[in-house]
């Protein structure tokens, strides 16, 4: 199961994958 969490304060997404790896990336303000 892949979890997506939006950290509103810092404006980036955190994706946690089922294998335990984690990837975070900036969310561009233009796309909001």
Distance between CA atoms of residues 9 and 24, nearest Å: 14
Q: Where are the domains of the chain?
A: 1-32
What are the pLDDT digits (tens) for 1-32?
667 776 676 666 777 777 777 665 555 445 55
Residue 4: predicted pLDDT: 73
Query: DSSP per residue over 2-18, as a string?
Result: -EEEEETTTTEEEEE-T
Residue 13: predicted pLDDT: 72
Q: What are phi and psi of 17, to 5 degrees?
A: -95, 165
Residue 14: predicted pLDDT: 73
CB proximity list for 2: less than 8 A, separation 6 or greater: 15, 16, 17, 18
Reduced to 3 states (helix: H, G, I; strand: E, B; else coil), residue 26 is strand
């Amino acid at each position: 199961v892949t979890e997506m969490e939006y950290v509103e304060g810092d404006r980036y997404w955190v994706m946690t994958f089922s294998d335990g790896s984690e990837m975070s990336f900036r969310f561009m303000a233009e796309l909001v």
